[in-house]
Amino acid sequence: MVETRTFMTVVLVGLATPGLADEVFGPPVPARLRGPSAIGQVFNHLGGGVNGAEITARTKPGDGQPPKLLHQTTSDGLGDFKVQLPRGTQGTIEVTIRMAGFTPFTREYDVADMGNDDFFIEALLQGGRKLTGRVIDGEDQHPVAEATVVASVGGREIIAETDDDGRFEISGLPPGKGLLRIRAEGYGRTAETIDTEAIEKPVEVTLEVERVLHLRVIDDRKQPVDNALIELVPDDDTGRRSIRTDAEGYAGVNQLGRELESIRVRVTHEDCVRTGQFDQEIIPDTGELAPRVTLTLVRGGAIHGRIVGPDGEPLFGARIQASNTQAGYVPAQFSDGEGNYRLGGVPQGVAVLTIYHSFHAPQLLEVKVEPGRVTELDVTMTTGRTTGGTVVDPNGNALADVRIVLADWKGHRTLRLGAITDESGLFAIENAPDEEIRFSLSTPEIPDIKEVILKPGRTDHRIELDPAAAPTPPAGAPGQPRQVGPAFAPGIVAPDFTVTTLAGENLTLKDLRGKFVFVDFWATWCPPCVAELPMVKRLHQAMATRDDFLLLSISLDREPATVRAFVKQRNIAWPQVVGETAGATHTATAYQVNSIPSTFLIGPDGAILATDLRGEGLVDAVRRHVDATK
């Protein structure tokens, strides 16, 4: 029964009147008065439990007989409730759930089914707010027909189009604040804040003549760059834009508003070096309707080759990355079904190439790279070995939650390899290279307490760690986390990212300061990811009422339509990011996601609190880190 509730987005009938045996739902009722019962949960559009929803159960009206009230109750803080029908109730009953701001939910149920162990009435409350308005031309006040109007509230996005009189109507909005975005041919896009709980009259939106931004992308030789991807995030909340250059390096961005003050820009091309960040800014001249801007990319080199296993067979899904450090953007690619890979945009110089594949030891190679040239490199993977042991304090007591991460391998820190001790202080690092590697030990509170060398094949290492004797870390800037230790160790500043969700919402990590952000990398084609979904749903439900927590899933699927259908079928309500143009690929690379599922818990100060949290203990682990950060 518990598992059923965890998997579903549910509304169920509850009782507050006498008749419930569970004190959570009300006072006990004498057994002689109890009939069939059912439990359930009320969810809102975000998947969070709804507190205080009114739930009634009545007999089904018929044969001229009015319906009879059987039970009435309200849901608790988690949206849970229970319906306890009177003894002798038979036939069909009607359950209705009401909550201010939502459309009433009504379903019929056969009382005979309530005796089944798996009986659970599920329902999702739909928004009940309506927004109407009119879009007009700012110069002569004439109506703007065929304008696209998008209302985004609480993760819901509803689209409408204006009629010949410029009027629109949007129904089914949930209660809360959100954005109303309007775009029309020949006009600058506009966005304004709306509160569906305070709608008193139709809104009137005025559109002004558009500004057009003319862009050109060239390389460091001043040659045009064809098919460069330009991503733009205007500061007026009108939404992220993407466009590609033509053969001469030109691209035009229309429908820009006159009040626009700045645009953050990211320009990428497979043959050019990229940072992964929106690290350029365009400030349009307010007096110019068609400004022209030139953007420059630096040419990189390319590494092509084939990855095979010890038996010479091609390896599919090997991850190849080229970088001298784990910080910032890292050029990366996966091998195809024939083991082939093509890695482009590698900075000039000696690149450190790290290759990963499940059940094989990682490889680390140095490759000389020149701009505009291709270096051929085939790689044969080898079988790895397991190394591990126990971490204890000076008194011999086991230490849990100690992170063991690579500190140095062949003079580099590019390898992402490590483990976390369990409650018994045990750890195991599988598929490690067959050579000695230096690792750093950290706790959630103190990074880099101690470094040790672990020998390959040994699983009986005994490491004594005394967190109390760790040196006092140097103070950083006020309010800024200290950047020390290997990438993604606790305390490291999380790489910034800007993504666009399936609902069209732009999210930038640095703008989320003050919130806990749980980033979940996954894919619909990944069986372990799908198996993990019930636990992620449980986390979303547990944190749904917190304003300081955001759960964000970034899918490695290629097609947004695939993920849209998947999340709709499984009632997944939290934000999803899919595809290269939405920022999923850049973010996964910046976070060096070598396998999925992969998770990162980021604190309010932008520092990483924990990685790879998952499994049955996910909710407790996240709560423990969140509570410790208060």
pLDDT at 21: 33
The stretch 37-41 carries a mean pLDDT of: 85
- pLDDT cut 70: percent of the chain above it: 87
Residue 595, both tokens = 């396998």
Residues 580 and 595: their CA atoms lie apart, in Å, by: 18
Residues 331 and 309: their CA atoms lie apart, in Å, by: 23
pLDDT over threshold 90, residue 27: no
Interacting residues of 17 by C-beta distance below 8 A, sequence separation 6+? 26, 71, 72, 73
Residues 496 and 583: their CA atoms lie apart, in Å, by: 11
Domain 498-629 in the same topology as domain 132-207: no
pLDDT over threshold 80, residue 565: yes
Interacting residues of 440 by C-beta distance below 8 A, sequence separation 6+? 404, 405, 406, 407, 447, 448, 450, 451, 485, 486, 489
Sign of CA dihedral 256, 258, 259, 261: positive
Query: Do 426 and 437 touch, CB atoms closer than 8 A?
Result: no
The stretch 197-209 carries a mean pLDDT of: 91
What Å distances lie between residue 151 and 83, 178, 490, CA to CA?
36, 7, 38
Query: Looking at the domain covering 211-297, what would its CATH class be?
Result: mainly beta
pLDDT over threshold 50, residue 473: no
Q: Which residue from 430, 431, 429 is spatially nearest to 420, judged by alpha carbons?
A: 429
The stretch 324-335 carries a mean pLDDT of: 69
Residues 484 and 502: their CA atoms lie apart, in Å, by: 35
Per-domain boundaries in the chain: 2-115, 132-207, 211-297, 301-380, 385-469, 498-629
Sign of CA dihedral 272, 594, 427, 538: positive
The rounded mean pLDDT for the chain is: 83
Q: What is the DSSP letter of 397?
A: -
* Residue 385 region by backbone torsions, left for phi larger than 0, else alpha for psi between -120 and 50, else beta: beta
CATH classification of 301-380 is 2.40.110.10, yes or no?
no
Distance of CA 212 to the CA centre of its chain: 32
Query: Do 620 and 549 touch, CB atoms closer than 8 A?
Result: no
Interacting residues of 434 by C-beta distance below 8 A, sequence separation 6+? 361, 382, 384, 385, 456, 457
What Å distances lie between residue 348 and 220, 279, 299, 424, CA to CA?
13, 20, 8, 47
Tens-digit pLDDT profile for residues 161-170? 999 999 999 9
pLDDT at 46: 64
* Residue 569 region by backbone torsions, left for phi larger than 0, else alpha for psi between -120 and 50, else beta: alpha
pLDDT over threshold 80, residue 417: no
Q: Give the DSSP letter string of 262-312.
A: -EEEEEE-TTB---SS--EEE---TT-SS-EEEEEE-B-EEEEEEEE-TTS
Tens-digit pLDDT profile for residues 296-310? 999 999 999 999 999
The stretch 551-566 carries a mean pLDDT of: 90
| Band of residue 328 on the pLDDT scale cut at 50, 70, 90 | low
CATH classification of 132-207 is 3.40.50.2020, yes or no?
no
Residues in the chain: 630
Tens-digit pLDDT profile for residues 47-97? 667 889 999 999 887 666 788 899 899 988 778 888 888 888 888 889 999
Q: Which helix (H) or strand (E) holds 621?
A: helix 618-629
In the three-class reduction of DSSP (H, G, I as helix; E, B as strand; rest coil), residue 431 is classed as strand
pLDDT over threshold 70, residue 324: no
Note if the bond before 143 is cis, omega within 30 degrees. no
Residues 206 and 138: their CA atoms lie apart, in Å, by: 5
What are phi and psi for residue 275, nearest 5 degrees?
-100, -20
The stretch 122-141 carries a mean pLDDT of: 90
| CATH code of the region 2-115 | 2.60.40
Residue 153, both tokens = 């509230």
CA dihedral 297, 300, 306, 308 (to 10 degrees): -90
What is the widest separation between alpha-carbon atoms in the chain?
A: 89
pLDDT over threshold 80, residue 219: yes
Distance of CA 504 to the CA centre of its chain: 14
Residues 262 and 213: their CA atoms lie apart, in Å, by: 12
What are 93's strand-pairing partners?
59, 109
What are 219's strand-pairing partners?
297
pLDDT at 274: 83
- pLDDT cut 90: percent of the chain above it: 35
Least confident interval from 243-257, 278-292, 508-522, 587-601: 278-292
Residue 228, both tokens = 């460069």
pLDDT at 220: 94
The terminus-to-terminus CA distance of the chain in angstroms comes to 34
Q: Which residue from 182, 171, 174, 249 is spatially nearest to 214, judged by alpha carbons?
A: 249
Residue 544, both tokens = 């749904």
Tens-digit pLDDT profile for residues 576-620? 999 888 888 888 877 878 678 889 999 888 888 888 888 888 998
Least confident interval from 306-320, 441-455, 484-498: 484-498
Q: What is the DSSP letter of 88?
A: T
Least confident interval from 320-329, 382-391, 578-587: 320-329
CA dihedral 393, 398, 404, 408 (to 10 degrees): 40
Q: Burial level of 211, CB count in 10 A (0-12/13-18/19+)?
A: buried
pLDDT over threshold 60, residue 429: yes
Least confident interval from 27-41, 260-274, 360-374, 616-630: 27-41
What is 385-469's CATH topology? Immunoglobulin-like (2.60.40)
Least confident interval from 9-13, 64-68, 216-220, 540-544: 9-13
Residues 518 and 555: their CA atoms lie apart, in Å, by: 14
Tokens 């800024």 map to which residue?
A: 480
Residues 231 and 506: their CA atoms lie apart, in Å, by: 12
CATH classification of 498-629 is 3.90.1170.50, yes or no?
no
SS3 readout for 506-556 = EEEHHHHCCCEEEEEEECCCCHHHHHHHHHHHHHHHHHCCCCCEEEEEEEC
pLDDT over threshold 90, residue 544: no
